Amino acid sequence: MTKTRAFTLSTLLAATLLGLSVPTQAAKNGGSTGLDSAEASHLTFMREEEKLARDTYLTLANMYPNQGVFSTIATTSEQTHTDTMRDKLAQYGLPDPNPDANNLPASIGVFLGAEWGWYFDEKFAALTAWGANSELDALYAGAFIEELDMHDIAECPQVMVDAGYASPCGLNYTDASGLINAYSSLIDGSENHLRSYVGQIEAIIGVGNYQAQYLTQAEVDAILGR
């Protein structure tokens, strides 16, 4: 299958800090799903990354019950995003790495995917430990997740590149209309979430003082309307 889509993060704006160990190349998904192995593995990855965001925000909401941004984003948008990725896996006939994801609270921080579960286990532990330092650190962790998420939706996540996948393998690569629409919607949501987190951060550190953590400063400034 030849892929011809070519977006950049700057076009998507209208549309590492937590470096972890990387194993040798994992077996890739694929088969008769209508998606190639890169698309299938990326979609599976994004199912777990959206769950990571939801689970981290639910955990931070318990740590800081007076900071409503975590609970609001987790229980509305991130829950929807997690379910959307589940539904896309079903649409393309791919197995769900976390079929009990909505068994809350037991499923929080549990990642069972054979290919990427190890990575999200480590990421969840690192992000929640960071957030436990202070409410401000928790807000920065939330903003970091949204920047990372936007990159990983559009491009090939670094951990996938390190495992042997060619970049891009996300929205910039796929020509499957169902994925294009779903991923574009996720990016729109992440832009809104980043603005929410930065608003809370800058209420503490001063307006205009937030520095990009994963995207470029120009990309973040464009999202923030600066």
Cα–Cα dist 88/68, whole Å: 30
**CB-based contacts of 193, cutoff 8 Å, min separation 6:** 73, 77, 142, 146
Q: What pLDDT does 33 receive?
A: 59
What values do phi and psi take at 28, rounded to 5? Answer: -100, 150
Q: Which residue has the tokens 């929080």?
A: 108
Q: Which residues of the chain have pLDDT under 70?
A: 1-33
Domains detected in the chain: 34-224 (1.20.1260.10)
Local structure of residue 95 (DSSP, 8 states): P
Q: What pLDDT does 30 receive?
A: 38
CB 144 within 8 A of CB 2: no
Helix 135-154 / helix 117-131 crossing angle, nearest 10 deg:
150
Task: Supply the pTM of this predicted model.
Answer: 0.85
How crowded is residue 17: how many other Cβ atoms within 10 Å of its Cβ? 12
Among the listed residues 98, 178, 213, 154, the one whose alpha carbon sits nearest the alpha carbon of residue 109: 98
Q: What pLDDT does 168 receive?
A: 81
SS3 assignment for 67-136: CHHHHHHHHHHHHHHHHHHHHHHHHCCCCCCCCCCCCCCCCCCCCCCCCCHHHHHHHHHHHHHHHCCCHH
Q: What pLDDT does 167 receive?
A: 82
